[in-house]
Structures are given as C-alpha cells and as structure tokens.
Structure 1
Amino acid sequence: MSLNIFMLDKNIVSLIQSKNDGKTKTKDQIEMLQLLKRHDKSIYRFSSLSSAIEGRKKQKESKIESINTVDYETQILKSFFKKAKTDAHILKSNESNFSEVFSQYNVLHNQEKYKSVLKKYYELREKYVEKGSIPLNKKEAFSFELLEYIEAQDIAKENPIISIIFLAINQIIDNKYIDNPCNVLKLKKGKSLDENIHNIYSDLSIPNLISRLEFEGKGDIKITFLTLDKALSSYMEIFKFNYISEIKKNTGYLKLHQVEVEIQSKLIRSFFKNLFENWEASKNNSHSISSTKPSNKTE
C-alpha cells in the first residue's frame, strides 16, 4: 500500500498558523482548511518540505537555519493535525538523521546558475519591454539573447524553471489551465530582486522535488501538492518529470540529462519545438555567415 503524502506550500503552512487569528478567511482558505481536516487520518502524512526549502529568511538558508525552519514548521503542523503524520516522524526517527534526509531535497545542484538565469530575464525584460509588455517584433530577439546566456551557463534549457520564462516572454497561454502559470514570475512589492528570485526559484523547483521523491519511493509513495497560489497550481500541471535511471548510491543529486521532462500541453509542446528549431537555425545561419565572410588579412 502506497503512502499518501500531502506536500504543503508556504501559504498553507501560514494558513494553518493563522487559523485562529480572528481574521476573516476567504472561500478558498476555508475550503482548504476543511480539506486538511478531512484528511487528518493516520493513513496520511503532511509535509512542509517545499516550504522549508524556501525558508524564512527570503534567501537560501544554512544547514542549521534549515533545521530550525523544519522544526518550527513541523510544530505548526503538529498543533493542527491530531492523527496524520508529519515530517517529525521522519526527521526524529532513529533510522535517519537530518543530514541524510534533508540533503536529498536540494533539488538542483546548479541552483545558483538557474537563479542567475532568472536574474538575467528580469534585466533583459527592462531592455525589451514597452508599455508593460514585450512587443511582438522583439519576442524572438529577447528569447534568443536569453538562450545564448543559458547555453553559456551549460544548463538545460528544457528545465521547467527555464521553460516558464519563455512562455512569459512570448505570452503563450493555454486556456485549459485555471490561471496563467507565468504569473509565478511576477515580482512582489516590498522585496528585493534577489529575495523575489529566491522565492520564485523555490516554487519553480517543486515539480522536480516531488517527482524525485516519488521516484526514490519506488512506487510506494504518492505526493499531492497543496497551494492557494492558482498560478503555481497551473505551472505544476504543465510539467511532469520522468526519472529514467537509478540514483547512484551515496550521491546527492541527479543531473538533468537523467530526467525526461514531459509537457502536458500540446500548444506549449508545439511552441517549444518551434522556438528551439528556430534558435538552432539562427545559430547555424550565424555560423555560416561568419565562415564565409571575406577576410581582410593580407599576406
């Protein structure tokens, strides 16, 4: 029998923490609290892991800070759930210690490179944006300039953390999703760019995190992600990771080439096929022009 795990976004942890603060709750918040209560049974486990990875400092936390965050958020969950298990049942067990458990959740060892791509996107957006949006005749140039930067970083352009950026640049929207997933890239007021990027990266890495944990569970666990963020929910529906090789023992990470990314939307699959084909054609054309350019060199 598989273990059913509900992974909670930070807004769910905050909702649980504030359930008795006397403030009026929205319809979505009330329904979420009711769902959580209905599943407060011993057959379920609730995890704040994705929230803990984001941390409480709006930046990547140290090991000690992460331990404190996990303990803090676990206490919040334990005060709410009476029967369901929480992360405490793993982290406090005699069979595993914090280092062994938490080290597996650093989803991408190229984290800083992916964050640098996000930062480059926001910088380039200032260059290309006109009246709040990217003009049609500049979308390809914007995309190609960012692709050039991505390839220089030697990271996979197919990763959803990257893919969502190109959907935003080109304003590709599949109306079958409840909300525009590109809204996950919106910067929040009152936070610095680096703080925003850290929070956005933490959200964008969740599909990878969940797929990896399910893969490591070898079919024995099923994870459902809960969030009040509709844009994040839509993003989660678009991309699916399929791990295609075993993780070598005692290694901390899987490289992306060991993973297949499946795009659930036909519209979005077609967009990326055309984008990457045009990008390769552009590079080949540039190389051809460069190689045939007359030389000014004299003998």
Structure 2
Amino acid sequence: MNLFEINWRNFRKPRGTLYFLDKNVLQLIHTLQEDKQLSKPNEIEMQSRLKSIDKSTNMVSLMLSIIEGRRGRKETLVEKSQTIIEEINILKGFFKHANTDIAFFEKRSELSSDVLSRGYIESDEALYVSYLNIFFNLWGSYNENSSIPPKIRAEFTDKLIEYAKTINMQPQYLVVILTIGAVYGKSEALQILKPKDKNSHNAYADIAVITRLGNHMVRFSETYNCDFLTMDKGLLACFKIIKITSVSLMVNKDEGETTKLEISIDKSFLPDHVLKKLNIKP
C-alpha cells in the first residue's frame, strides 16, 4: 500500500466509489462556491452529477488535480505545496456527505508536496514537450488548417516516427499515437492536441491526464470502484478508443515513482499499415 492508498483504504470494494476530479471540475466547484450562475449545459450537467455522488459511501479525491498543478508545467516543492493549499480551499465545505482527502493532504502536506513535486506519476515531461514542439512545427509547415491532406500523411507520419526514435521515444508511446491520429484527422486526437494552438505544454498536460488516470484505474480497479469526473470532451473521447491495459512501476530516489504503461487502441483509430509502422498489432 503506497502513501496515497492509506487515504482510501476504507473505501475498498464493495463500498461506494472513489472519484478523481479533473482540473476543470475543480474550477467548476470554485465557481459554485462563489455562488455564480452557470450557463453552459455541460457545467449544469456536471453540477447535477456532483450532487448525485454526495453520499457518505463515496470518496472524492484531489489527487489528479494536485498532480496536474496550477501552472501548466512541473511544479517545484514550494509551488506544489501552494497548489495543495489552494485545491483544499476550493473543495472544502462543498460536499456535505461524501468523504474527501482534504484532511489527508492537510496532515501530510509537506510529505505530499515532496513526493508529488518529484514526479509521482511521470518524469518524461521534457521528452514529451520536445516531441510535441516538432509535431507542431511540422503541422505548420504542412498545413495551417485543421487537417493534413491525405497525400502527405504518410510522409508526416514517417518524420514523426523518425524523430521519436532519435530521442529514444518508442513509437508505441501514447503521445506518438495521438499525434499520428491527428495527422489522419481523428477528432479524438485533434481535441486533445489542438494543433492550431501550438501549445506543447497544454497538450502534454492533457495527455498526462490520460496516463495518470490509466495508471490509477489499472492499479486500483481490483480494490476500488474508480471513476473520473471531467468536462473535457477530448479526454472523454480518447478514453473510448485508448485503454491502459497494464502498469509497471519503477522507483528512482531522485525522480520518484514512474510508470511504464501498455495500451490498447480501438481498431478504427488508425489504418492497419500505420499500426504496423508503430509495431502495434491491428
């Protein structure tokens, strides 16, 4: 049992559900805490969902939101400590019956900040951002519009795979699969990457949510009923076509706990000849 599972041990199956909050849901809670009116249908729908899970048998966790941070990049120890305080203040008092990990993070703020600032889930941010910078540059050189012409998709794909190999990134990495999915016009990938914005850090943050959630779901699914609350349509779409199937844990005293993930892809996401280039069975 790791540090954070201590917090959830009373909510093992068959009791209730362990809910992880995405950053956008926490922002919505902040809006509701300030008694502001909601106007967007997805916000109103999520408000109703939050009310429905407010039961004493459920646990609501800030874990994924805290890991993501509030600065669009990996946070320092001091910054992570500030994030924990800010996230706690937003959630505090919102749920009347459901349990939260507020008390856990308050009691272990210093230890949690240390663990999470060192990269509790992944330590490949610089590698991902470097690759995404190349992807966005190539996207701009091939086409400034929202899609890549079919006649140059193969060439674009080969350049992405070639660059991935030069930085020791396996073609099976999720970021490689999603960028190639964007080249082939897949809406799930386009919604995550947003090529027009050319913001590598934002794209990385969304991809990291997928790997973090997949890590938690696979590791804890046998012990807990897990669910993830988000209003991000791109993330929801990706979860339908990409599944994390296994997680291998590695611990480095300097970088913290890291993971190696294996994924499966819906057969309709990429053409068979592209999957073969990625050494993925169609």
User: Does the TM-score normalized on the shorter chain lie above 0.5?
Assistant: yes
Answer with 1 or 2: which has the greater Rg. 1
1:60 to 1:248, Cα distance in 2 relative to 1, 3 A: closer
1:62 to 1:78, Cα distance in 2 relative to 1, 3 A: same
Match of 1:7 in 2: 20
Match of 1:239 in 2: 242
Q: Deviation digits for residues 197-229 of structure 1, max 9, x if unmatched?
A: 222212112232123224444722232111111
1:23 to 1:255, Cα distance in 2 relative to 1, 3 A: closer
Match of 1:102 in 2: 116
Structure 2 CA distance for aligned equivalents of residues 187 and 9 of structure 1: 22
SS at match of 1:58: coil
TM-fit CA distance, 1:71: 1.9
TM-fit CA distance, 1:104: 8.2
Match of 2:193 in 1: 185
Of residues 211, 214, 217, the one that matches 2:214 is 211
SS at match of 1:266: coil
Does the CA contact (< 8 Å) of 2:210 and 2:235 recur in 1? no
Does the CA contact (< 8 Å) of 1:54 and 1:198 recur in 2? no
Structure 2 CA distance for aligned equivalents of residues 245 and 56 of structure 1: 27
TM-fit CA distance, 1:42: 2.2
Does the CA contact (< 8 Å) of 1:161 and 1:205 recur in 2? no
Match of 1:226 in 2: 229
Does the CA contact (< 8 Å) of 2:161 and 2:176 recur in 1? no
Structure 1 CA distance for aligned equivalents of residues 186 and 109 of structure 2: 47
TM-fit CA distance, 1:27: 2.1
Does the CA contact (< 8 Å) of 2:25 and 2:230 recur in 1? yes
Structure 1 CA distance for aligned equivalents of residues 139 and 204 of structure 2: 18
Structure 2 counterpart of 1:39, one-letter code: I
TM-fit CA distance, 1:243: 2.3
Structure 1 CA distance for aligned equivalents of residues 227 and 166 of structure 2: 35
Structure 1 counterpart of 2:192, one-letter code: V
Match of 1:253 in 2: 257
1:218 to 1:164, Cα distance in 2 relative to 1, 3 A: closer
TM-fit CA distance, 1:181: 4.2
Match of 1:49 in 2: 63
Of residues 178, 185, 205, the one that matches 1:164 is 178
SS at match of 1:18: helix
Does the CA contact (< 8 Å) of 1:184 and 1:232 recur in 2? yes
TM-fit CA distance, 1:159: 2.3
TM-fit CA distance, 1:262: 1.5
Structure 2 counterpart of 1:220, one-letter code: T
Of residues 246, 261, 264, the one that matches 1:262 is 264
1:6 to 1:205, Cα distance in 2 relative to 1, 3 A: same
Unpaired segments of 5 or more residues in structure 1?
174-179, 281-299
Structure 2 residue 101 is the aligned partner of structure 1 residue 84: no
Identity of matched residues, %: 28
Q: Deviation digits for residues 85-114 of structure 1, max 9, x if unmatched?
A: 223243235799315753686322222101
SS at match of 1:261: strand
Structure 2 CA distance for aligned equivalents of residues 205 and 55 of structure 1: 12
Structure 2 CA distance for aligned equivalents of residues 132 and 208 of structure 1: 26
TM-fit CA distance, 1:152: 0.8
TM-score computed with the length of structure 2 as normaliser:
0.81
Match of 2:3 in 1: none
TM-score computed with the length of structure 1 as normaliser:
0.77
Q: Deviation digits for residues 5-55 of structure 1, max 9, x if unmatched?
A: 211121111111112443342222112111111211222222233332332
Runs of 4+ in 1 over 6 A off after TM superposition: 248-251
Does the CA contact (< 8 Å) of 2:191 and 2:234 recur in 1? yes
Identify which range, 57-66 or 145-154, moves more after superposition: 57-66
Structure 2 residue 128 is the aligned partner of structure 1 residue 129: no
1:226 to 1:279, Cα distance in 2 relative to 1, 3 A: closer
Structure 2 counterpart of 1:266, one-letter code: K
Q: Deviation digits for residues 236-292 of structure 1, max 9, x if unmatched?
A: 222221226565697833453xx32112x2212x52x41153578xxxxxxxxxxxx
Structure 2 CA distance for aligned equivalents of residues 262 and 32 of structure 1: 29
CA RMSD of aligned residues (A): 2.9
